[in-house]
Amino acid sequence: MVTVGAVTIDGVQRKRANRLLLAARRSRARARLLSRLVLLGPPGAGKGTQAEVLERKFGICHLSTGEILRDVAAGNGLPQTSALKSALRYMRRGELVPDATILELVRERRDCLHAHQGFALDGFPRTLPQARALNRLLLQEGLTLDAALEFSLPMEQVIKRLSGRRICPNGHGVYHLKARPPKVDEQCDRCGAKLVRREDDRPEVVRARMNAYEKSTRPLIAFYKEQGLLITIKAQGKPNEVFTRTVNALKRNL
């Protein structure tokens, strides 16, 4: 038995009190994290993976425009909103979904933008006009951006990562010959189908994608730097190592 002030508490109550104290400390630690984020970085830098862990560990809402568009294209969940319907029309015609529609898709995820623990935008903005449009949208929503995280990875490493990537043709996810190999060589763990390489991940295509990425995002990076929001994180190494660097940067830059 322990006496705290005028209240006597037993072991069970003490455990519970400790748990609450720990949770409160954790939530204060969370509150000290920059958490309204734009994620930048070349394909293969691991933005999506980092965003998923930020969501799992800190409740930061992961908003991936690429994922939304892939879901629409695959028919996962009926397109109910006007922006989703519009995106679907462009994709069916084999056209690029225009900026205005992408911006609407983001605006429609108000729950995510206003999430108490913050948001991580992944795949948007990609260009300077998109970044300006995002600033206007956030202003309208009464929100401000905390940071733009740039995950940097040298070209040769990007090629190495992407050329080892394989996907299940039946949509059971992404494998990597070295980093995340299937149990049986070149076969999907879930359905046994032979894994395939996306056309996009061929080395010559990766080079072209990297060049396009650098050309379109260089002004974007300068834009966030000017606003004092840019934080660059080295994306070499294992995902958990990159995650440690990310969390440290989000704390240090407060």
Cβ atoms 160, 235 nearer than 8 A: no
Closest to Zn ion by CB, 20 or 191: 191
- Residue 3, sorted as left (phi over 0), alpha (psi -120 to 50) or beta, turns out to be beta
DSSP states along 29-64: HHHTS--EEEEE--TTS-HHHHHHHHHHHH--EEEE
Give yes or no for a cis peptide into 125 (omega within 30° of 0).
Answer: yes
Active site residue 207: no
Cβ atoms 133, 215 nearer than 8 A: no
Segment interacting with Zn ion, rule: CB under 5 A, options 41-49, 51-59, 185-193, 204-212:
185-193
Residue 172 C-beta: closest distance to Zn ion, Å: 3
Cβ atoms 51, 39 nearer than 8 A: yes
Q: At a CB cut-off of 8 Å and minimum separation 6, what does 46 contact?
A: 151, 235, 239, 242
Residue 183 C-beta: closest distance to Zn ion, Å: 12
Per the residue annotation, which of 26, 70, 132, 198 is the catalytic one? 198
170 near Zn ion, rule: CB under 5 A: yes
81 near Zn ion, rule: CB under 5 A: no
Cβ atoms 99, 17 nearer than 8 A: no
Per the residue annotation, which of 160, 209, 225, 245 is the catalytic one? 209
190 near Zn ion, rule: CB under 5 A: yes
Active site residue 180: no
Residue 68 C-beta: closest distance to Zn ion, Å: 22
Active site residue 165: yes
Segment interacting with Zn ion, rule: CB under 5 A, options 4-12, 37-45, 46-54, 167-175:
167-175
Question: Could you say which of 53, 63, 147, 168 contacts Zn ion (CB under 5 A)?
Answer: 168
> Please, where are the H alpha helices in 44-165?
47-58, 65-74, 82-92, 99-108, 110-113, 128-140, 155-163
The secondary element (H helix, E strand) that includes residue 165 is strand 165-167
Q: Length of the chain, please?
A: 254
Closest to Zn ion by CB, 76 or 81: 76
Residue 44 C-beta: closest distance to Zn ion, Å: 22
Segment interacting with Zn ion, rule: CB under 5 A, options 47-55, 131-139, 153-161, 183-191:
183-191
Residue 217 C-beta: closest distance to Zn ion, Å: 33
Active site residue 126: yes
Closest to Zn ion by CB, 183 or 252: 183
Footprint on residues 191-210 left by Zn ion (CB under 5 A)? 191, 193
176: three-class secondary structure by DSSP: strand
Per the residue annotation, which of 126, 160, 197, 245 is the catalytic one? 126
Which residues of the shown chain bind Zn ion in the complex (CB under 5 A)? 168, 170, 172, 188, 190-191, 193
